[in-house]
A and B are shown apart, each in its own frame.
Chain A
Amino acid sequence: MATEGNYYVPEQSKLPLFAATGMGLAALGAGQWVQGQSPMVFVAGALVLAFTLYTWFGLVIKENRAGLASDQLKRSYVWGMTWFIFSEVMFFAAFFGALFYVRVLVLPWLAGESPNEMTNQLLWQGFETNWPLFNTPDMAINGDAAQFKGPDDIIDPWHLPLINTIILLASSVTVHFAHTAIKNENRQKFTTWLGITVALGVIFLFFQAEEYIEAYQELGLTLESGIFGTTFFMLTGFHGAHVFMGTFMLAVQLVRGFKGHFSADDQFGFEAASWYWHFVDVVWVGLFIFVYVLGS
Chain B
Amino acid sequence: MAHGPAKGIGRWLFTTNHKDIGTLYLWFSFAMFLLGGFFAMVIRAELFEPGMQIVNPEFFNQMTTMHGLVMVFGAIMPAFVGLANWMIPMMIGAPDMALPRMNNLSFWILPFAFAILAATLFMEGGAPNFGWTFYAPLSTTYAPDTVNYFIFGVHIMGISSIMGSINIIATVLNMRAPGMTFMKMPLFVWTWLITAFLLIAVMPVLAGAVTMMLMDINFGTSFFNAAGGGDPVLFQHIFWFFGHPEVYIIILPAFGVISQIIPTFSRKPLFGYSSMVYATSSIAFLSFIVWAHHMFTVGMPIGGQLYFMYATMLIAVPTAAKVFNWISTMFRGSITYETPMLFSIAFVILFTIGGFTGLMLSIAPSDVQYHDSYFVVAHFHYVMVAGAVFSGTAAVYYWLPKWCGKMYDETMGKVHFWVSFIGFNITFFPQHFLGLAGMPRRYADYALQFSDWNMISSVGAFIYGASQLLFLFNVIRTIKAGKPVDDPKVWEGAEGLEWEVPTPAPYHTFSTPPDVK
Contact = CB atoms under 8 A, between A and B. Distances in A.
Interface in A67-124: 72-73, 75-76, 79-80, 83-84, 86-88, 90-91, 93-95, 97-98, 101-102, 106-107, 109-110, 115-116, 123-124
A123 B229 CA distance: 12
A28 B229 contact: no
Interface in B1-45: 1, 3, 6, 10-11, 13-17
B214 interface: yes
Question: Which of the four size classes fits the interface of chain A?
Answer: 35 or more
Contacts of A84: 162, 166
A147 B227 contact: yes
B96 A227 contact: no
A136 B227 CA distance: 7
A158 interface: no
A16 B234 contact: no
Given A101-B237, A102-B231, A13 B218 contact: no
Chain B binding surface, main DSSP class: helix
The residue among B3, B167, B178, B222 with the most chain A CB atoms within 10 A of its own CB is B222
B105 interface: yes
A237 B94 CA distance: 42
A175 interface: no
A31 interface: yes
A83 B229 contact: no
B113 interface: yes
Contacts of A27: 112-113, 116, 149, 152-153, 155-156
Interface string A2-36: 00111101111111110111011011101100110
Nearest to A140: B227
B270 interface: no
Contacts of B95: 7, 9
A271 interface: no
Contacts of A19: 105
A226 B229 contact: yes
A248 B79 CA distance: 37
Contacts of A83: 165-166, 169-170, 200
Interface in B151-174: 151-153, 155-156, 159, 162, 165-167, 169-171, 173-174
A98 B238 CA distance: 8
A220 B200 CA distance: 38
A170 interface: no
Given A12-B10, A79-B173, A91 B205 contact: yes
Given A24-B116, A31-B151, A137-B226, A94 B169 contact: no
B228 A138 contact: yes
B216 to A, nearest CB: 8
B116 A23 contact: no
A223 interface: yes
B349 to A, nearest CB: 36
Contacts of A226: 222, 228-229
B299 A116 contact: yes
A227 B228 contact: yes
Nearest to A33: B148
Given A79-B166, A94-B205, A17 B13 contact: yes
Contacts of A110: 226, 229, 231
Contacts of A88: 204
B139 interface: no
Given A12-B15, A35-B145, A227-B229, A87 B200 contact: yes
Contacts of B94: 7
A124 B229 CA distance: 10
Contact of A28 (B116, B178, B214): B116
Nearest to A116: B299
A286 to B, nearest CB: 15
B16 A13 contact: yes
Contacts of B170: 76, 79-80, 83
Given A24-B115, A75-B174, A98-B223, A230 B230 contact: yes
Interface of A: 4-7, 9-17, 19-21, 23-24, 26-28, 30-31, 34-35, 56, 72-73, 75-76, 79-80, 83-84, 86-88, 90-91, 93-95, 97-98, 101-102, 106-107, 109-110, 115-116, 123-124, 133, 136-138, 146-148, 150, 223-224, 226-230, 233-234
17 contacts: A6-B1, A7-B95, A7-B175, A11-B16, A12-B11, A16-B102, A27-B116, A27-B156, A72-B174, A76-B170, A83-B200, A98-B223, A133-B229, A136-B222, A136-B227, A223-B219, A230-B215
